[in-house]
Chain A
Amino acid sequence: MSKITRRAFIKTSAVASSALAVGGLLPKQSKAKSKIERYDEKMTHYDKGKTAFTYCEMCFWNCGVVAHIRDGVVHKLEGNRCNPNNMGHLCAKGNSGIMSLYDPNRLKYPMIRTGKRGEGKFKKATWEEAFDYIGEKLKGIINKYGEKSVASFLHGTGEEPFIILSHAIGTPNVIIPAYSQCMGSREIGWVLTYGTGVSGHSTFDFKNSKYIISFGRNLLGALQVREAEDVTEALARGAKLVYCDPRFSETAAKAHRWLPVKPGSDLALILGLIHVLIRDQLVNMEFVKKYCYGFGELAEYVKQFTPEWAYQETGIDIKTIEAIAWEFAKYAPNVVAVPPRRFSRYGNDTQTSRGIAILNALVGNWGVPGGIWERSKYAYIVANYNRSDCDIKEIEFRLPKEDEPPKPKAERADGAGTLFPLAPKGLGRENGIIEATKNENPYPIKAWLLYGTNPIGSSSIGKNKLVEEVIPNLDLIVDMDIIPNDISMYADVVLPESVYLERYDLPHIQKDAHPFIAIREPAVKPLFDTKGAWDIAKGIAERLGHGKYFEKSVEERIEEVIAQLPKDKQKELKEKGVVIYEGVEPFPQAAGKELEFKTPSKKIELYSTKLAKLYKEKGDDYYPLPKYKSAVQPREKDVYRLLFGRVPMHTHARTQNNKMLAEIYPENEVWINEEEAKRLGFDEHDKAVLYSVSTKIESEPIKVKPTSRIRKDCIFIAHGFGHISKFLDTAYKKGASDSYLCSDEVDSVSGAAAFNNAFVKIKRVRS
């Protein structure tokens, strides 16, 4: 009999190793004392040590953190109670930032490739050598192919210096992968309707909401701390939650209704709901008449989308559709219909986002508690410094400041702003750049500067033959990261960034219902020969003769930002790490104010005037009302649509080597409906490989999880696993990666990716 683990034992009893210590990994302090003595001392003389304020970088959402340092070692991270993003709480990722700081596999010094790409052979270099190498290479590439042939892929707090660097070089090809890989279609749909986006720190007032419909946003599992806090609070106050997803996620676990829609049919359900709202006269007509454009066209258009029709498309029964529409109207306006964050699913995503936006508009929840709030800028500091929160209005990252290089005017290689006129030029399309690099069309892309991004883990790499046909076209790949991730294996130069706990960065200034500023100061000095993003960009810029844009140090720039605050606020910021600006009105409608929208008609556009123009040139996909296009279906038998998503304890493909997070969730499993598993002869713990029917690529072996928590026509894996970097001792080859298997299709309106039009077979692994 196999040994019953403690965990398994508890699981069965409660309801009715080689140990690697946290302490053991840390620098060898206090070795003189025995471990028991240290334990005793901790019990009797509790000393949290020194503190430093920072904001979290374990995911993108920058919760407030207080780092505690004893004997020069960060031993505990706590949430900053003053920070609205987390109110003192940290998730497992936030708590585990310590293990990213003390990850033994961290990048420790610059490296230059010596072997073949992918072999992982490098020589240690000084920063001077690495910058010289990059400078020479870039100069050669720019001379031969022009400035435009340099593309930067950026993700994280250090995006800004690389945007300045790219502009100084003169290339328009700056890519913020979050657009095409994640939120692009959502934001375009929202901007077309409301004139503003949902934004990263979403504008939904969950806490005061009485009825929440989520179209696949895994609010409780994905995990953005404030969202999870607010939804939990709403549920505790009695709010109802409807969750629409082919998979029964953490959010489904708390939902009053789980709607396992047929994958890709969300818009049919939404149109059915809109049909019932209009049919049964449940629309807030006072609001719609005053603030919405095109209700007549919408009403006429949705007549055809009866609940009977929606049932045929979605598999959700008629009574349920009607009941949800009635309940949504009953609790209006303190209700929200929530789009997914990663809306790169089925290629009909922008129109689906439009549908969700319209569903909200019809009940008049804009600017009302429990509905959609209006964000304000942090009034003390008007200029933007950081990336602007995935905010894609009309639609720049931010305008260059006086002392910065102007934005290059050349056409982008990825079709953003041209082939895809709505895709913002300031964010670009990662999928488009990969394609342009592969085909050298519209012009060659010869250098990739990658900051905090790992295309091997995050893009459709199987379909695109990233390793075989894209990377060989590049004369230079510079990878800047904190760990040797998958793409590092193919990089020519690898530059180590300091971990967020080791560095100063510009304050985080968040546009919000209650906008605020939060500071980042280092908890410890860099452990290794690493630099912050600003100094890395500066080193490269100097080699290209653009050093003048980087003359100030990070500390001087921070001082300049903070100097704009009133004196008493400066003091408060030093003491609390955060200062909130309270003089705003997030609920203007409730406060009796007139609403304004930044659309062409100045109203909420149920009928999009912008799409109406494009529709004439570009055809049906740009239909000005939310046009339903059913998702691509498989042609073969016994194949499953591949879905992927997050688990609460990992971020993207970048935390799997964190020893604490890997302990909690070491590898992904493939979720398959239990009846399908039985039919195919799979038991729990069996291993399988996933086989792409279009590319014939097989995944690494992955454990099977037969479950009732997923529909029969799809399978699910957690994103970010199956790392190929042999330098990641913990994460190497753990589980399977979706990026080898997902589709390379495109939403034709936003130009963002459509990953989930991929179909796989699940094959047994014989052990």
Chain B
Amino acid sequence: MDAKKRKHRYAMVIVQDRCIGCMACYSACKFEWEVPISKEMFRTEVLEIEQKDVDGKPKVAFMPILCNHCDNAPCVEVCPTGASYKREEDGIVLIEPSMCIGCKACMEACPYNARYLNEELTVVDKCTFCLPRISNGLEPACVATCVGEARNFGDLNDKNSKVYKLLKDAKKVRRLQEDKGTLPNVYYVSMND
């Protein structure tokens, strides 16, 4: 189904200038969804990328990462049981745990490494855009707690939504690994030049 014809076109728009790498999102998400205490298990996290500019001076960027809820989701394609699926009405990619056999094919297929094996549930797990929260009128846990208000969630079909406006006003917009044809729904934007 053409993404634009969906009832909702949910997206996360991350204003990367505003991310300070504090990991509030990481912990809020793990408590919200009872993700086991383990460095290898998380639905979202923030990378600290250390580089140098042309003069050799340090340069540090913080980059939140999560499931991109791709319109062309490789994880859904490879799932042998149909446990991984994309919701037609809003584009959210989900896993039905009772159908997951833990084969990890999706984990290998995902170019974002957004999925992990939940060792407690022995099924694969990942970000759901906090579907239960957004269904109850709340923001996703990571968005609600974000100290720098770097993370924004909303419906791109709604021209009054913050995410729509941010994409419209952004000076730079990018998505990760677009060359893979995944059509991700997580946008990284910069509002300043």
Contacts and interface: CB of A to CB of B under 8 A. Distances in A.
Contacts of B136: 46
Interface in B4-54: 15, 17-18, 20-24, 26-28, 30-41, 45, 47, 49-50, 52
Contact of A22 (B34, B133, B144, B150): B34
Given A6-B116, A23-B34, A94-B24, A89 B145 contact: yes
A95 B131 contact: no
A232 B18 contact: yes
A20 B65 CA distance: 23
Nearest to B192: A238
B28 A236 contact: no
Contact of B35 (A9, A22, A35, A91): A22
Contacts of B61: 253
A92 B38 contact: no
Nearest to B125: A39
B20 A21 contact: no
Contacts, number: 194
Max chain B C-beta neighbours (<10 A), residue from A18, A225, A664: A664
Contact of A19 (B17, B18, B120, B148): B120
A91 B20 CA distance: 11
B183 interface: no
B46 to A, nearest CB: 10
B20 A75 contact: no
B120 A24 contact: yes
Given A89-B146, A223-B22, A250-B20, A36 B56 contact: no
B88 interface: no
A14 B31 contact: no
Given A46-B136, A89-B145, A13 B113 contact: yes
Contacts of A659: 37
B98 interface: yes
Given A6-B113, A253-B62, A35 B121 contact: yes
A304 to B, nearest CB: 31
Interface string B121-135: 101000010011101
A499 to B, nearest CB: 16
Contacts of A9: 113
B123 A36 contact: yes
Given A19-B119, A648-B21, A225 B40 contact: no
B159 to A, nearest CB: 22
B20 A20 contact: no
Contacts of A228: 20, 22, 147-148
A7 interface: yes
Given A43-B131, A92-B22, A709-B50, A7 B37 contact: no
Given A14-B113, A36-B121, A78 B144 contact: yes
Interface string A54-75: 0000000000000000000001
A14 B32 CA distance: 25
A21 B23 contact: no
B98 A21 contact: no
A40 interface: yes
Interface string A655-674: 00001110110000000000
17 contacts: A10-B45, A10-B112, A14-B65, A14-B113, A19-B37, A36-B121, A40-B98, A77-B31, A78-B144, A95-B27, A248-B60, A250-B20, A250-B60, A254-B17, A648-B22, A708-B57, A709-B60
Given A20-B37, A35-B121, 4 more contacts: A96-B27, A225-B147, A235-B18, A649-B27
Interface of A: 5-7, 9-11, 13-15, 17-25, 35-36, 39-40, 42-44, 46, 75-79, 88-92, 94-96, 98, 220-221, 223, 225, 228-229, 232-233, 235-236, 238, 248, 250, 252-254, 258, 648-649, 659-661, 663-664, 707-709
